[in-house]
Amino acid sequence: MADPRRIAPELWPPAPELRTERLVLRAWREADRAPFADLNADPAVMEHFPSVLDRAASDAMVDRIVERWADGRPSLWAVEVPGEAAFIGFVGLLEPSFTAPFTPCIEVGWRLAAPFWGRGFAPEAAAAALGHGFDTYGPDEIVSFTVPANISSRRVMEKLGMGHDPADDFDHPNLPVGDPLRRHVLYRLPAAEWRDRGRGSAPSTAAVTDK
């Protein structure tokens, strides 16, 4: 397995670059580590996670992201706003490592720095990531999940046209019984729905989050 710590950053494997109307989804750079550590240390960004991350944990996450690209597996892009910000966070695809009724599967996810929230960047980037994911890996569906209280993230799922059936809600096996973050809602996007809608179409804004 590739070890990104042993590979000079300029030789890190290139993630396929995706462009949207306002964004570039690109391979990670060494220079992304500092702003990524900043957003991972922000309690607002990490509100729905067990804890904020320190610099070492943030860097280790970058290493895992790069390693997955090196292994040819779904991974996360660094997101850039050309002309405005070289790095605002990540959007991309992951394979959950835990076992649940819906795994193995591909998950779409996002984490952006708070100053860039509210401009529709996450759904715009995620639509490109979904297109890449369906085209490249050919899954029957791509899922996303979060805690019920993470309305911002659920709104992104809804804007992407992902569907939520409460019967799919689950307890995250990596969190202990009694942990307030254990319960999760699952959203699904079947490949057929993605195809029917026409890939690349603008994300929907019509859905209303169920509570």
Ligand X SMILES: CC(C)(COP(=O)(O)OP(=O)(O)OC[C@H]1O[C@@H](n2cnc3c(N)ncnc32)[C@H](O)[C@@H]1OP(=O)(O)O)[C@@H](O)C(=O)NCCC(=O)NCCS
CB of 205 to ligand X, least distance (A): 7
- Tell me how far, at minimum, the Cβ of 43 lies from ligand X, in Å: 11
What are the two backbone dihedrals, phi and then psi, of residue 123, each rounded to the nearest 5 degrees?
Answer: -65, -35
The residues binding ligand X (CB under 6 A) are 45, 48, 109-112, 117-123, 146, 150-153, 155-156, 159
Q: Nearer Cβ to ligand X, position 4 or 123? A: 123
How far apart CA 24 and CA 35 sit, in angstroms, is 17
**Stretch (H or E) spanning 39:** helix 33-40
Q: Residue 153 in 3-state DSSP?
A: helix
Report the nearest approach of ligand X to the CB of residue 13 (Å): 25
For ligand X, the closer of residues 52 and 70 by Cβ is 52
If the CB atoms of residues 103 and 152 are measured against ligand X, the closer one turns out to be: 152
Distance (Å, whole) CA 76 – CA 93? 6
- The residue (of 9 and 120) whose beta carbon lies closer to ligand X is 120
Minimum gap (Å) between residue 111 Cβ and ligand X: 4
Do residues 83 and 61 make contact, with C-beta atoms less than 8 angstroms apart? Answer: no
The structure tokens 């580590």 sit at 33
